[in-house]
Amino acid sequence: MRSENSCILVDAGISAKRIRTHLGEMGLTLEDLDGICITHEHGDHIKALPQLGGKAGIPVYANAETASHIARKKGYADITWKIFTTGHTFSIGDLELHPFSIPHDAMDPVAYTVQSMGKRIGFATDIGLATRLVKGHLSGCHMLYLETNHDRLLLEESNRPWSTKQRIAGRQGHLSNESASELLQAVAGPELEHVFLGHISKDCNQHELAESTIRLTLKDLGREDVKISLTYADRPASLWSSLT
């Protein structure tokens, strides 16, 4: 996420090498990063922190519970932490971030809204249930990053253990395409310009399914003007340029 004067990552769940490569594809380097903002402590969100927050010395922003839990993991002791309080706004350069609580099976998981230059971004992933708090914070955003983790039928038919299926579909798990659609219906306002779809499961979803579900929702809302972009683990997504 980049404004005119600041650049941050939200989570760092792939290798530091791949992050460096993807930044290079966007004309950026690790030295351009002003911080990494963590949503929660699960491994697929913090993999690169020992290299980026430790060796490279990039500040890592998290609440106290999340930071404490990560710091106890092997290899994560030397991270430069910047501790925020969930529910309280903080700034990184000209980016104003507000972390808010979400339901997920982690210590103190958060999503973020980010404001700069009169624009508002909502970043919401790993959410089991779109609570009233979640909907309130994501309303009025110009850009949304929404989790579309799974298709309910594909999850049910997958080879994953039953306990894993229950966890994913539960109130502290992940949003399905359908749940993300319902959340979008509740928060999409006239200012919404772009929706990014993320955290898409390889074996319990398809990018085409996620996109078609959200596209139909926007059509029903009379908002076919809103752009939809898919995100991938192995390459950068398209850019939303309203902050730069």
Provide the Cα torsion 165, 175, 14, 78; round to 10°.
Answer: -90
pLDDT reading at 163 higher than 80: yes
DSSP 21: H
Q: Based on the number of CB atoms within 10 Å of its own CB, is 58 exposed (0-12), middle (13-18) or buried (19 or more)?
A: buried
Q: What is the pLDDT of residues 38-53, one digit of tens each?
A: 999 999 999 999 999 9
Please report the pLDDT score of residue 243 as a whole number.
56
Separation of alpha carbons 42 and 95, rounded Å: 25
User: Residue 70, Cβ neighbours under 10 Å: how many?
Assistant: 25
pLDDT digits (tens, 9 = 90+) for 100-146: 999 999 999 999 999 999 999 999 999 999 999 999 999 999 999 99
CA distance 73 to 91: 27
- Average pLDDT on 182-190 reads 98
Looking at residue 241, its pLDDT comes to: 63
Q: How confident is the model at residue 149 (pLDDT cuts 50, 70, 90)?
A: very high
What global pTM score does this model have? 0.95
pLDDT value at position 242?
A: 59
Stretch 61-65: mean pLDDT: 98
Longest dimension (CA), the chain: 50
- Residues near 64 by beta carbon (within 8 Å), at least 6 away in sequence: 83, 85, 108
CATH 3.60.15.10 is held by the domain 1-85: yes
Dihedral (CA of 123, 129, 225, 209) sign? positive
Are domains 1-85 and 118-237 of this chain identical in fold?
Answer: yes
Q: Which CATH architecture has domain 118-237?
A: 4-Layer Sandwich (3.60)
DSSP string, 28-52: --GGG--EEE-S---GGGTTTHIII
pLDDT per residue over 209-232, tens digit each?
999 999 999 999 999 999 999 999
Question: 176 and 134 in contact (C-beta within 8 Å)?
Answer: no
pLDDT at 233: 80
How far, in Å, are 1, 38, 129, 177 from residue 171 at the CA level?
Answer: 28, 21, 5, 15
Distance CA 91, CA 200 (A): 29
Rounded alpha-carbon distances, angstroms, from residue 131 to 2, 106, 135: 28, 16, 6
Residue 222 is predicted with a pLDDT of: 98
Specify the pLDDT at position 236: 81
Q: What does the pLDDT read at residue 44?
A: 96
- Cβ–Cβ contacts within 10 Å for residue 204, how many? 23
Task: Please give the span between the terminal C-alpha atoms of the chain, in angstroms, as a whole number.
Answer: 10
Residue spans of the domains in the chain: they are 1-85, 118-237
Q: Pull the structure tokens for residue 80.
A: 């430069």
Is residue 240 scored above 80 in pLDDT? no
Query: Residue 244 pLDDT > 60, yes or no?
Result: no
